[in-house]
Amino acid sequence: MKTALVYSDAYGRFDYGPEHPLRMERLGLTWRLMQAYGLTALPNARVHLPEPATEQALALWHTRDYLDVLKAANGGTAPEHAARCGLGPGDNPVFPGLWDAARLCAGGSLLAAELVASGKATRAFHFAGGLHHALPGRASGFCYVNDAVLAILHLKSRGLRVLYVDIDAHHGDGVQHAFYEDPEVMTISTHERGDYLFPGTGFVEELGTGAALGYSVNLPLEPFTDASVYLPAFEEVVPPLVGAFKPDVVVAQLGIDSHRTDPLTHLELDVQGFARAVARIVELSPRLVALGGGGYDLPNVARAWTAAWAAMNDVEPTAELPVSFAEDARRYGFRAPTLWDPPERPAGAKRLRAEAYVQRQIEAIRRLIFPIHHL
C-alpha cells in the first residue's frame, strides 16, 4: 500500500480576512503536527506539492462567466457582478489572491485523484480541499470552486465508479447537486439537520432523480449528536450502501466542524469518534481520495486531520502530543497536550433526543433507498 499527502505552504499566503471563521493557518498547523508525529516521513508515504488547476479544468463544471468574475477578484477588489456570484461581505469575501487560492485548492484535489487513479497511491489526502458548497456559477459557504466535484469528474473520466462520503457537519449540497441525476456516482452525506444549519438542505427525501433515484443519500442529525449515537448510525447506513454500490474508489470529505467545541455547529463528536469514522471509511474503500472540509476550532482541525492521516497509514499515534509541538500547542491554545479529547458524559435527555431522531432517519433511508439497491 502506498499513500500520498498533498500539501503546499503556499496556502498560508491567503487570508479570508481577520473576522472570517475560516483561518487558512489551520493548514500549516495541521502540517506541523503531522511533522511532529513523524507522519510526513513514513516509509510508504509520499508528500506531493500541488500545482494550480488550469482554467480549462475548472470549466469542466464551473461556468465561464463565473470563472471570469473569480479571476477579476484576484486583486482583492470586488468586480462587477460579484454579488450576483455570491461574492462580497460575509461568507465569501473578496480577498487578494482569491483566484490563485481557488486554483491551488482545485489543483491539489485533482492531483490526489490522479495519484489514486494512476495507481501511484492507494490512498491520498488533500486536507486543504473539501470545499463542497460551491455551485457551477456561484460561491457558497466559504467555497469558491468545488474541488470535490472536480476530483470526482476526473476519476469518472478514468473509468472509475465513485462513491462520495461526506462527514462534515454541513450538508454536501454542491456535490449532491452535481451528481443528482448521475447513477454512476453515489453521494452519502451525514450532517446536522438542514432546518437548523446552513445550507438548509440534506433531508432524507432528497433521493436523486431519474435513473439516479436512490443514489443521493442523506443522514441528517439532531444537534448534540455525539459519537455514541453517530457511529452506530453511520454503521447502519454507510457500509450496506458501499457494499451494494461497489465503488472502485471512495472520495471522502472529512470536515471536523462536527466537533463538540466547534463555534459554528451544534454536533458533539470528539476527535476519537471522528477518527473511528475515518478508520471505517478507510476500511470500506478499495481506493481512497480524502479531502478536508470544515473546522473552525484550529486545535480540533490539527488533531483530527493528523489522526485521519495516521488512520490512512495504519499508524496508531501516541496520545501525548510530541514535545516538539509544544510551542504551537501553547500559541494556539490547545486545551490539553493530547491528540484525543478527555471523556465527557453525554447529557441524558439530549442524547436520547439525538438517538430517537437519527433512528427515524435510518428507518426512512431503509424504506426509501435500501430497496432500490436490493438491501
Q: In what order do the strands lie in the sheet with 288-291?
A: 45-48, 3-6, 123-126, 288-291, 249-253, 162-166, 185-192, 216-221
φ/ψ of 103, rounded to 5, equals -65, -40
Confidence band for 46, pLDDT divided at 50, 70 and 90: very high
The answer to whether 257 and 264 have CB atoms below 8 angstroms apart is yes
- In Å, what is the CA distance from 372 to each residue of 185, 211, 214? 15, 11, 6
> pLDDT tens digit string along 305-314?
999 999 999 9
pLDDT band at residue 345 under the 50/70/90 scheme: confident
Q: Is 62 a catalytic residue?
A: no
pLDDT in tens, 99-129: 999 999 999 999 999 999 999 999 999 999 9
- Please check whether residue 242 is in contact with residue 248, taking contact to mean a CB–CB distance below 8 angstroms: no
Candidates 3.30.300.180, 3.40.800.20, 3.30.70.330, 1.20.1250.20; correct CATH number of 3-373?
A: 3.40.800.20
pLDDT for 89 beyond 90: yes
Where exactly are the structural domains of the chain? Answer: 3-373
pLDDT bucket at 334, cuts 50 / 70 / 90 = very high
Query: What does the pLDDT look like over 231-278, one tens digit per residue?
Result: 999 999 999 999 999 999 999 999 999 999 999 999 999 999 999 999
Yes or no: say if 271 and 105 are a contact pair by the CB < 8 Å rule. no
- Write out pLDDT tens, residues 271-328: 999 999 999 999 999 999 999 999 999 999 999 999 999 999 999 999 999 999 999 9
* Peptide bond between residue 263 and the one before it cis (omega within 30 degrees of 0): no
What is the rounded end-to-end Cα distance, in angstroms, of the chain?
A: 31
Catalytic residue among 48, 62, 132, 133: 133
Q: Which three cell numbers stand for residue 288?
A: 481512497
- Tell me the three cell numbers of residue 1: 500500500
